[in-house]
Structure 1
Amino acid sequence: MTQAPAASRSSRRRHDREIITLAVPAFGALVAEPLFVMVDSAIVGHLGTPQLAGLGIAAALLMTAVSVFVFLAYATTAAVARRVGAGDLGSAIRQGMDGIWLALLLGIAVVAVMLPAAPWLVEIFGASGTAAPYAVTYLRISSIGIPAMLMVMAATGVLRGLQDTRTPLYVAIGGFAANAALNLGLVYGAGLGIAGSAWGTVMAQCGMAAVYLVVVVRGACRHGASLRPNAGGIRASAQAGVPLLVRTLSLRAVLLIATAVAARLGDTSIAAHQIILALWSFTAFALDAIAIAGQAIIGRYLGADDPAGARAACRRMIEWGIGSGVGLGLLIVLARPILIPLFTSDPAVEATLLPALLVVALTQPVAGVVFVLDGVLMGAGDGPYLAGAMLVTLMVFTPAALLVPPFGGGLTALWWAMALMMTVRMATLGLRVRSGRWVVTGATR
């Protein structure tokens, strides 16, 4: 009678240690990424308003171009983790190298488009005549670093699959420090202005990619994995990434539609919406860290032919997701008197912001479950289902959001539509997890 509960407690403690060991460093690395843009903004902001406006436009274009390829990290994590679970580290690293080669090829293709198209992209983004030259300068120089950025994504996925989230944290911290130092030196010391900021960021990104390559190459040499590009492996990595690309584009569409609707509600609403998005993004980093742990842990269990372990880890991570969501929701509610004045002193914006922010707080437990289930299914390599589920979510969310202005709804109604979106995601992902069809064991899916 007492042995089963004791065994259950032991299992929970083991899963807790795994989750904490992987999620905490992953959270640190995730938070370090937006700090690059914050540092650039702080340094360039002192050059003048046109330069800062140009940076804002160029940074938005760059982040959009890079974020759609986040599957390089997610798909690589799942594939590598499966082979780790199967005990074949050589194949795991070989799979990771295929992802890195794919990242390099995609990066070169993006640069080939971005360099000549920079003026056109800046123009359609609505840049003013004074900001446009700075935006084009920053965009063209920074685009040179896109191959390095994508290689960092893929290499991060390799290390996560190898159950190592500490190295990405250290690299992110080093990259952040190098970026800050180089930007200061080149912008002010060398007098290069906004071009110096762009070159500093490119140099920091290339340095990060070089560190990752050294780590992966050492692992490949240690386990006898080939470093040469393999056409079949690269093609397989690309095919595995297509469903996750569809998922990511659908999610980006949700966020763009929400922002467009908020803009139609007026300047006060769009200002409040941007503040809520910033806070929502921060909570997403915390929950995404658990999802990243889920990708690595689930992939390893399935690769080790341990479906029971995968299901037990899934259950425990759902509990973590709910608990983290409750904690983040309470944090938003309790900290709102401090948080809101940090972003705005406009009484109208504050009045519009508060009720919508409470909706975000209430839906954090739902978001916690969604992020965890997303990570579990990614770790299982269930990309096609994730793509289909996100498309269904987009089809439900779009009319709900677009009907907000005609029916006289405000920002709070829009964020209730966002809550609906998260609920639909939880339902579709939950159905898949309950069905057990994601539990496919073996070194490959």
Structure 2
Amino acid sequence: MRIPLNIFFKDARLVFKMDELGLDITSIALPAAMALTADPIASLVDTAFIGQIGPVELAAVGVSIAVFNQASRIVIFPLVSVTTSFVAEEDTLATASPEVKEIENLEMGLAANSENKKLIPQTDLVENTYKSEPLTDTVKSGNGKRKIPSASSALFIGSILGLVQTIFLILAAKPLLNFMGVKSDSPMLQPAQQYLTLRSLGAPAVLLSLAMQGVFRGFKDTKTPLYATVAGDAMNIILDPIFIFVFRLGISGAAIAHVISQYLISIILLWRLWQQVDLLPLSFKHMQFSRFLKNGFLLLMRVIAVTFCVTLAASMAARQGATSMAAFQVCLQVWLATSLLADGLAVAGQAILASAFAKKDYEQARATASRVLQLGLVLGFVLALILGVGLQFGAKLFTNDVNVLHLISVGIPFVAATQPINALAFVFDGVNFGASDFAYSAYSMVMVAIVSILILFVLSWSHGFIGIWVALTIYMSLRAFAGFWR
């Protein structure tokens, strides 16, 4: 198989040029990255308010948020990623020229007896990339709105999953908290269960809003989700002190404020989407549930593999004692937070590539892949420099413990040096998702996880804290290589 190394150097002199492609990437990536960082910032403010109540309440809320986020993450990533690609393809075909539609119809006819369809010729940039099913025709509805079947499907699936998550978390709150180490005699149990139960009421809004964010990303519109997210998070920050201190609702007030903010985000996005897309009920055939479920299940496998690797690394650090776990937690949160910037580029790459593939514009696909990978590499080196220097001084913002600070200093070189690798891995994910190559993304990630888990067990046992970070570096390197190989 020909591996195009020149993809990193193709038109490299144009990497920062604000031409049509550069403006397209920037207009998608920048708001996406800002929207991704808005919620963690709001959560930090949330944590600061809750911390004023007491340490028990702060710890209880921390455990509850971890449970809620873990349950949400399993379904959020597949739903958003699949929706973005499907909507981008359908929206592009809806506005495609007659020539492009004629080619698409011809290829669908030729592939009618085949389960898979080659997306790009063998001699092109991405080889052996497949699509699962022919796209459904997309047309303008009678009221002038776009008729995008995947948009309606995503909203329906997101709503159902949200309701299921709410019921599950309410009924299983106590067992889940016990599993997380909050036992029946713990003073954290009552406030943790109370917060998790109330917070669960917002699950339908969370999944519905994220499904709609996937739709807007497919339209290459990341500004609308940004505005909605900022409005919701601002509402959360305003309501927090009112409910917690003025109404004296404590952590219940914090949970209620967060739920209200999530429903506000959903209402804003639904209102904007209703203006652009015909969301009236479609036939079962047009809803394409089989296509969503098939690819969503593949990405679910991928999310579980990724989550298990990182969770296992944290578990290995915890087994080495409180000092090791505290240092690992600081390094890990910084390590993960910086990935949000690369995720913005991945979103841009996915949306533009999905559109280019739908139009059979492989030259644009090549140019887009090269540009986002080059920008990802540059971003990675910039982050490496900033973290390598800044974290040496910034570590004291997290703790004053000398032993913890020493271990953080040991982890800093790994956190900094892996930034270019991480950026490439995330951008490669966006490239593969843009090609709707969900099967390869899932299977390759499972293989990477199996190898990484074995390495993690061996190195954490033989080299302790350093071994864990060496294993995580190998894990991200394998992820980046898997994306590059495809």
Match of 2:309 among 254, 257, 261: 254
Return the alpha-carbon distance in structure 2 between the equivalents of residues 37 and 6 of structure 1.
40
Return the alpha-carbon distance in structure 2 between the equivalents of residues 273 and 11 of structure 1.
35
Conserved? CA contact 1:258–1:401, under 8 Å: yes
Name the stretch that deviates more: 188-197 or 53-62.
188-197
Residue equivalent to 1:436: none
- Post-superposition shift, 1:268? 1.6
Residue equivalent to 1:238: 293
- Post-superposition shift, 1:398? 0.5
Residue equivalent to 1:435: none
With over 3 angstroms needed to count, the CA separation of the structure-2 counterparts of 1:264 and 1:20, relative to structure 1, is: same
Residue equivalent to 2:210: 153
Match of 2:51 among 45, 48, 55: 45
Return the alpha-carbon distance in structure 2 between the equivalents of residues 103 and 130 of structure 1.
35
Conserved? CA contact 1:265–1:405, under 8 Å: no
Residue equivalent to 2:361: 306
Return the alpha-carbon distance in structure 2 between the equivalents of residues 89 and 379 of structure 1.
22
Match of 1:170 among 214, 227, 238: 227
Residue equivalent to 1:122: 177
Residue equivalent to 2:65: 59
Residue equivalent to 2:467: 413
Is 2:398 aligned against 1:343? yes
- Post-superposition shift, 1:364? 1.2
TM-superposition CA deviations, 1:21-61 (whole Å, max 9, x none): 11111111000122332232111111112211111111001
Residue equivalent to 1:143: 200
Aligned AA for 2:257? G
Match of 2:432 among 377, 381, 393: 377
- Post-superposition shift, 1:11? 11
Conserved? CA contact 1:295–1:377, under 8 Å: yes
TM-superposition CA deviations, 1:334-372 (whole Å, max 9, x none): 212321111122221122111321112112111111111
Return the alpha-carbon distance in structure 1 between the equivalents of residues 482 and 334 of structure 2.
25
Return the alpha-carbon distance in structure 1 between the equivalents of residues 423 and 321 of structure 2.
31
With over 3 angstroms needed to count, the CA separation of the structure-2 counterparts of 1:116 and 1:226, relative to structure 1, is: closer
**Other structure's SS at 1:68 match:** helix
Residue equivalent to 2:162: 107
With over 3 angstroms needed to count, the CA separation of the structure-2 counterparts of 1:71 and 1:7, relative to structure 1, is: closer
Is 2:315 aligned against 1:270? no
Residue equivalent to 1:440: none
With over 3 angstroms needed to count, the CA separation of the structure-2 counterparts of 1:139 and 1:11, relative to structure 1, is: closer
- Post-superposition shift, 1:307? 1.5
Conserved? CA contact 2:460–2:466, under 8 Å: no
Aligned AA for 2:280? L
Conserved? CA contact 1:328–1:361, under 8 Å: yes
Runs of 5+ in structure 2 lacking a partner? 1-9, 96-137, 141-145
- Post-superposition shift, 1:168? 0.9
Give the TM-score taking structure 1 as reference length: 0.91
Is 2:280 aligned against 1:227? yes
**Other structure's SS at 1:372 match:** helix
Aligned AA for 1:106? L
**Other structure's SS at 2:461 match:** coil
Return the alpha-carbon distance in structure 2 between the equivalents of residues 199 and 359 of structure 1.
39
Return the alpha-carbon distance in structure 2 between the equivalents of residues 336 and 10 of structure 1.
28
- Post-superposition shift, 1:8? 8.5
Q: Aligned-pair RMSD on alpha carbons?
A: 2.0
Return the alpha-carbon distance in structure 2 between the equivalents of residues 188 and 309 of structure 1.
55
Give the TM-score taking structure 2 as reference length: 0.83
Conserved? CA contact 2:309–2:453, under 8 Å: yes
Residue equivalent to 1:68: 74
TM-superposition CA deviations, 1:42-83 (whole Å, max 9, x none): 111111122111111110011001111121111111111112
Residue equivalent to 2:115: none
Aligned AA for 1:354? S
Is 2:259 aligned against 1:205? no
Aligned AA for 1:421? Y
TM-superposition CA deviations, 1:63-107 (whole Å, max 9, x none): 001111121111111111112222257566331121011000111
Count of residues in Structure 1 that have an aligned counterpart in Structure 2: 423
**Other structure's SS at 1:325 match:** helix
Name the stretch that deviates more: 78-87 or 317-326.
78-87
Aligned AA for 1:244? L
Aligned AA for 1:173? V
Conserved? CA contact 1:291–1:372, under 8 Å: yes
Return the alpha-carbon distance in structure 1 between the equivalents of residues 229 and 158 of structure 2.
18
Match of 2:416 among 361, 370, 376: 361
Is 2:88 aligned against 1:81? yes
Conserved? CA contact 1:217–1:227, under 8 Å: no
Residue equivalent to 2:190: 133
Runs of 5+ in structure 1 lacking a partner? 433-445
Aligned AA for 1:237? F
Aligned AA for 1:410? G
Residue equivalent to 2:378: 323
- Which is helix-richer, 1 or 2? 1
**Other structure's SS at 1:104 match:** helix
Return the alpha-carbon distance in structure 2 between the equivalents of residues 7 and 187 of structure 1.
53
Aligned AA for 2:208? M
With over 3 angstroms needed to count, the CA separation of the structure-2 counterparts of 1:73 and 1:274, relative to structure 1, is: same
Residue equivalent to 1:296: 351
Conserved? CA contact 2:39–2:229, under 8 Å: yes
Conserved? CA contact 2:147–2:279, under 8 Å: no
Is 2:250 aligned against 1:193? yes
Conserved? CA contact 1:93–1:216, under 8 Å: no
Match of 1:29 among 8, 32, 35: 35
Return the alpha-carbon distance in structure 2 between the equivalents of residues 353 and 393 of structure 1.
26
TM-superposition CA deviations, 1:3-26 (whole Å, max 9, x none): xx9998599633222111111111
Conserved? CA contact 1:80–1:92, under 8 Å: no
Runs of 4 or more consecutive aligned structure 1 residues displaced over 4 Å after TM superposition: 5-12, 88-92
Aligned AA for 1:174? A
